[in-house]
Amino acid sequence: MGYVNINDVFCTSKTGYKILKGINLNVEKGECILLMGLSGSGKTSLTKLINGIIPHFEEETDFVGEVLIEGESTRNISQYKISEKVGSIFQNPKSQFFNSDVEGEIVFGLENMGTDPELIKKSLKKTINNLNIDRLLGKNVFSLSSGEKQILAFASIFALNTDIVVLDEPSSNLDMDTIETIKNNIEIFKKEGKTIIVAEHRLYYLKDIIDKAYYIDEGIIKDCFTQEEIKLFNSKKENNLKIRTLSTPKLEVLEKEFNKNDEYLCEDLSYTINGNLIFKDINISLNRGEVLGIIGKNGIGKTSLLKCISGLMKKNTGSVFFNNKLLNNKDRLKNTYLVTQDINSQLFTLSVKEECELNLPEDRLNQVDVVLNRLGLDKYKDKHPMSLSGGQKQRLTIALALLSNKEIIIFDEPTSGLDFKNMIIVSEAIKDLAKKSNKIVIVVSHDYEFLNTVADGIYEMV
């Protein structure tokens, strides 16, 4: 028997959808395993079985079979007791924060468990030193970049010192430098003897850490690979499995030069908030039919730039022109559709189809099924948007952008949580949006693999 045992588990939603089908998985103490596979294949549900979210919190999901931690069934252990053994790091770290200050967040779990104050101080000091996070101390959690928030999530679990660590898409929306930090943190967990389960689409940074990789497809474990076997994968094997590259991605798209003769211009854009300069003198240009990729480190101001050019942030200087017309904030809002990182904030109705039909003229309703089919969402059209996996939600927001009648379409990290197959589908959809629908398209992304397939030019914020 392993340290974590999943025996003949079938997991089903209240609507009857079979999420997991006969899963058998044994994880030894100190082992690091990877769960890989298409979006919606059941990876996240598997992590929720291990950390007790299923069945203790997710009441709309049932399972039969047995999930054991150190020989004890998670059905019979309270969530409080499970959390003493299992620490979780989620795709969106904001969902697990409880404090506004960094130090308070790091020690929250220990305080909540009634740990001796002297032990809390020692744990805090060890966490700061081992993870090298002095730069975060004294900061407000809400002022942190996406990368810093994920590093803080790691710190809070490191301080908690659980024997098992479950990670769900920990590299989403992170730049290459922060992913390297995340890799180092996972290695620290492993050296500490932790048992680690990672569900992930970006694979290259994990290939030297994991002991085994399990390939999940439609709720079934189809294959298991050792680290040595994973390292021997070539592009053909990756394509057959429809997984992301195991080689470190390199950006192959050239920089887009600013041209005042282009149809869409952002000239000398600057933005300051509360006396802090977020970005200064941004100059970008492109024409209809082009896709411009914007890159830069976490916290450099990319999302703020998108909000400024789309008219959501008013206190900016500089100019935005479209077809030689100066666009004020009202014009920018009228002409621009922005797909944000926080996809949940853009979903409002009770079904996927209703979401697509919302505010759509009657003469265009026939386009909904076509777009859903193209993005592989047609079989989910009657499902509640919030019941979709992260990758499925991401594709739904792409569908909404495709159905919008805006001239300027902007995407902020559109491949967050997407596997290789769906990354290509989204890439082709965005390219068609630009070229066939003759739109202005701007994409912010840290995903070089995606940008190499979709972007005509790159602008780097520094």
Question: What is the spatial distance between Cα 375 and Cα 379, in angstroms, rounded to a whole number?
Answer: 10
Residue-wise pLDDT tens for the chain (462 aa)?
679 999 999 999 888 889 999 999 999 999 999 999 998 899 999 999 999 999 999 888 989 999 999 999 999 999 999 999 999 998 888 888 999 999 999 999 999 999 999 999 999 999 999 999 999 999 999 889 888 999 999 999 999 999 999 999 999 889 999 999 999 999 999 999 999 999 999 999 999 999 999 999 999 999 999 999 999 999 999 999 999 999 999 999 999 999 999 999 999 999 998 888 999 999 999 999 999 999 999 989 999 999 999 999 988 899 999 999 999 999 999 999 999 888 888 899 999 999 999 989 999 999 999 999 988 899 999 999 998 887 788 889 889 988 988 999 999 999 987 889 889 988 988 998 899 889 999 999 999 999 999 999 999 999
DSSP symbol at 397: H
- pTM of the complete model: 0.89
Question: What is the spatial distance between Cα 335 and Cα 407, in angstroms, rounded to a whole number?
Answer: 6
The three-point CA angle 24-26-32 to 5° equals 125
Helices 176-191 and 117-131, axial angle in degrees (round to 10): 130
> Which distant-in-sequence residues (6+ apart) come within 8 Å of 49 by Cβ?
6, 9, 11, 20, 63, 67, 74
What are 349-365's pLDDT values in tens digits? 999 999 999 989 999 99
Residue type, 251: L
Question: What is the spatial distance between Cα 437 and Cα 63, in angstroms, rounded to a whole number?
Answer: 45
Q: Give me 258's structure tokens.
A: 């600013």
Q: Give me 402's structure tokens.
A: 């495709």
Alpha helix ranges (H) inside 163-219: 176-191
> Which distant-in-sequence residues (6+ apart) come within 8 Å of 3 by Cβ?
27, 28, 29, 30, 31, 69, 70, 163, 164, 195
Q: Give me 13's structure tokens.
A: 């939603």
What the chain holds in terms of domains, given with CATH numbers, is: 4-241 (3.40.50.300), 264-460 (3.40.50.300)
